[in-house]
Each structure stands twice: as C-alpha cells, then as structure tokens.
Amino acid sequence: MPKVLRNTLLSARDLLVTAGPFILIALALLVVAYFALDPNPPRKVVLATGPEQGAYAEFGKRYAAALKQRGIDVQLRATQGAAENMRLLLDPASGVDLAFLQGGAGERARSQADADAITSLGSLFYEPVWLFYREESMRRLAKTDQLASLTQLAGWKFNIGARGSGAPNLMRKMLEANQVDLESLTITRLEPTPAVMALLNGEIDALVFVSAPESLLVQMLLQTPGVKLFDFAQAEAYSRRFPFTSPVTLPRGVVDLAKDVPPTDMRLVAPTATLAAQRDTHPALLQLFVQAAHGVHSEAGWFQRKGEFPSAKNTELPLSKEAERFYRTGPPLLQHYLPFWLANLIDRMWVALVSIIAILIPMSRIVPPLYEFRIRSRIFRWYGQLRTVEDGIGEQSADELLQELSRIESRVEQVTVPLSYADELYALRSHINLVRRRVQQDQESSE
C-alpha cells in the first residue's frame, strides 16, 4: 500500500475512533426519535365503503388504486352504508380506519359516543336523495302522472333503504316534516339491488337512494322507461329545515344529451358526503387520503364545478389537522421533489432532527481536542523513555544507552501522524539525536 494512502487511512481511522462515541449518541437519539414519532404509515388500511354497485363502493376502488401507487394496501369493507360505517368507526375493535359518511352522521356520533373520537378529512361530493317511482303506480294510486309532494305517498309500498344505510333516517325526517304518517305506508328495507329488481317487477311502488350519481343503479334507473325521478320543488325549504343538506339541480340532458334525459331541470336535496377517520389513524395516512380525495373528487360533475370538492366546508365532524393543512397549503413541499417515504420521514421528524442537532452541536466541540490528544499522544509518550535515557547518562554504560536510543528511534520511525502534526514528529527525532550526542560526548569524556 502506498505510504500516502496508508497515512490517509490511518488519519481517517483516528478521526472515526475519536468521533465514534459522538456518532453512536447521534444514532441512538435518531433511533429513539424514529420509534417515538413513528413517521412512516402502516402499509395496510381498512376503508369502509357501502353496498356493491353503490357510489361509496365505486369511490373506494379509486382510492385503493391511488394509494397503491404509494405502496399502501387499502382493504375495502363493504357495508350497508353510512349508518353502519359510523358504528364501525365508533368501535375500535372493528378494525376500520376510515369510512365514508353521509351528511347528518355527526348527530348520530354525538348521541352514541364522543364526536372527538372521529375526525373528518373534508366534504367530498353531494349525495342527492333519489326518489324513483313507477309511473303506473302514480296513475293507479294518485290518479295523476306526476308525483308533486311526499304527502302523495300514502298507501304506497315504499323501500326506504336497508338497515345500516343512511337513507332510512333521512327519509323518516322528510316524511315527518311533511306530516306523513309512517303507518300509512308499506315500508320495506331491501338492499339496493333487490330493491331495484322489486321496483322493476312492480313489487314496490317507489324506492329511495341517497347516493352520488356515480352509483350504477342510479344511472340505470334514470334511463329506465316507466320509472320517474321525484322533483323536490321545495328543495330550498328542505335545506333550511335540515342544515346538513343543500339544494342541487340535475341539469336537463346531463344524463344523456342525445335523448334529452332528464327532459327538464330536476331539483334535488343533497347531503354532503364526508370521509372520516378514527382520530388515532396515522397522520401520514390521513395526508395520503386527502391527496387521493383531491384526485378523485376535484373534477366537474353533475352537481359540482371543477375544484369545488374536496372541501373543508360543510363538515359536521372536527377537521383533522392534516386535512386542514392540505386545504391551507396543499401537499407538503418536499413531496414535490422527493419520493413520498423520504419526504414524509423528513416532514415528520424535522422537529426532532433540529432538537438532536441542538444537543449535538455543543457536544461536537470536544471532538477536535480529543482527536488532537490522540494524535499527539503517539509522539509524547516516547519523551518519557527519552527522558529515562537522558537521566541514565553517567549512571549507565554509554553502549546500553545508545542501544536504547536506537530502539526508540526505530520505533519512532514506525509512527505515522497527519501532515499537520509532522513537525512534532520531526522534533522528537531531533531530540533523540540531541540525547545521542550527549551520550557520545559523555562516552568520549570518560575515555
């Protein structure tokens, strides 16, 4: 090995050994901070959606695809709807981390558990109340072609939604507001697909969905001959009576422009869907879901303009800090330039890193003195032996002293130090020669 390279490696080794304890302390602090802060999210998360072929289920698939690109496996749990989703979120043993909720769910949370146990990631989309009825039933029961008021439903076979969905609770409130006696209706509680089949087969007269237009069943019924959609002429009044709802309009022709479906603007009442999470869900997961929500729901739709959703408005539950941060400043800056895992690690640990640096900076001041002491000690320890030889002049034979000086000199020749300390090594050698001359002078004088 070339001597220059050997000296360089020895100097690096000395520096590493000297700074070793300092490096170990820094690593220990980083490890403690990492496990204390837990910056990286879990790789699996459970999202409660809704019935198959419903809007929640369709959106759940889009979320799963978006987070899969970030290395997160989103397990979708099919449910009956918003009411069941709320129960799952309130039950820590359910294993559900996030869920879609319908507007008005906040009231249920306050009645069953502390609403602080759940946090909102913002409002996502409108969920209109779709009340479909058979034209034949309208003519047979009401003797007219158009259903103008919920009061006309008396005597009908009406499916208000399956248990666990959000539709039954909302529909009951609407019927009570219209002073419709529930006993005057034949209420059924079928799931969405069986309910549609029953409507088409004439087994029921009407059904109600509370769903986004992405629901395949809603889109099918909007284009089914003999099935009509109820026009909420009093939509504005409903939104005042039920603050968690908004009046929306289904524009003429938006379903099918060529066939002019619907043939007129349809007024509807719409709660706002929310994505909610258990409060102890990992913050990085919440950030990922809010970003995914922006990708899934920000486009224009039947009821909203581009960029209207997701939104921090119209949320009954407390908005999570991660969602609030996203709506205020957008995605974290580092995620524009770094891979997600690295940007998230820095973003979650920067406070700890600053604190560790603040601790280590004063400690680092002892490294240079220790390094200097380690290097100079290789040289200074030979001065003790050189002093012993010098003290032996006149007491020991000159030959013995000269042999000891030769041994010391040969050992000193093997000492390697950085170039910045070479002057002290050469000084040691000159002092060895100085003592040798004194021994030789003493030897000559004694002869």
pLDDT at 215: 87
Distance of CA 318 to the CA centre of its chain: 17
For residue 172, which of 164, 185, 182, 163 has the smallest C-alpha distance? 182
pLDDT band at 63 (very low <50, low <70, confident <90, very high): very high
Q: Which residues contact 145 (CB under 8 A, 6 or more apart)?
A: 135, 138, 139
Averaged pLDDT of the chain: 84
How far apart CA 165 and CA 53 sit, in angstroms, is 14
Measured CA angle at 402 (ends 396, 405), to 5 deg: 110
Q: Are 106 and 281 in contact (CB under 8 A)?
A: no
Range 204-227 average pLDDT:
92
Q: What is the pLDDT of residues 353-405, one digit of tens each?
A: 677 677 667 766 777 777 777 778 878 888 888 888 888 887 888 888 888 88
Whether the per-residue pLDDT at 168 is higher than 70: the answer is yes
Tokens of 70: 């970030």
pLDDT band at 189 (very low <50, low <70, confident <90, very high): very high
State yes or no: cis peptide before 42, omega within 30 of 0.
no
Q: What is the pLDDT of residues 6-59, one digit of tens each?
A: 555 555 666 666 666 777 777 776 677 666 656 677 889 999 998 887 889 999
Domain boundaries, the chain: 366-446
DSSP-derived pairing of the beta strands 98-101 and 129-134: unpaired
Higher pLDDT, 91 or 343: 91
Side chain identity, residue 85: N
Whether the per-residue pLDDT at 186 is higher than 50: the answer is yes
Q: What is the pLDDT of residues 110-140, one digit of tens each?
A: 554 456 788 999 999 999 999 999 998 888 8
Range 424-447 average pLDDT:
83
How far apart CA 77 and CA 313 sit, in angstroms, is 27
For residue 118, which of 281, 260, 262, 244 has the smallest C-alpha distance? 281
Q: Are 401 and 392 in contact (CB under 8 A)?
A: yes
DSSP states along 352-406: HHHHHHHHHHHHHTTHHHHHHHHHHHHHHHHHHHHHHHHHTBTTB-HHHHHHHHH
Whether the per-residue pLDDT at 109 is higher than 60: the answer is no
Distance of CA 186 to the CA centre of its chain: 46
Which residues are 48's β-sheet partners?
Answer: 77, 99
Which of 206-220, 273-287, 314-328, 360-374 has the weakest average pLDDT? 360-374
pLDDT at 112: 46
pLDDT at 39: 61
This prediction has a pTM of 0.68
pLDDT at 187: 93
In the sheet with 129-134, reading across from the earlier edge strand, the strands are 186-188, 157-159, 206-210, 129-134, 227-229
Higher pLDDT, 317 or 46: 46
How far apart CA 416 and CA 374 sit, in angstroms, is 12
How far apart CA 162 and CA 191 sit, in angstroms, is 5
DSSP-derived pairing of the beta strands 227-229 and 206-210: unpaired
pLDDT at 305: 87
pLDDT at 42: 85
Higher pLDDT, 354 or 237: 237
How far apart CA 331 and CA 346 sit, in angstroms, is 14
Helix (H, G, I), strand (E, B) or coil at 52: coil
How far apart CA 337 and CA 213 sit, in angstroms, is 36
pLDDT at 357: 73
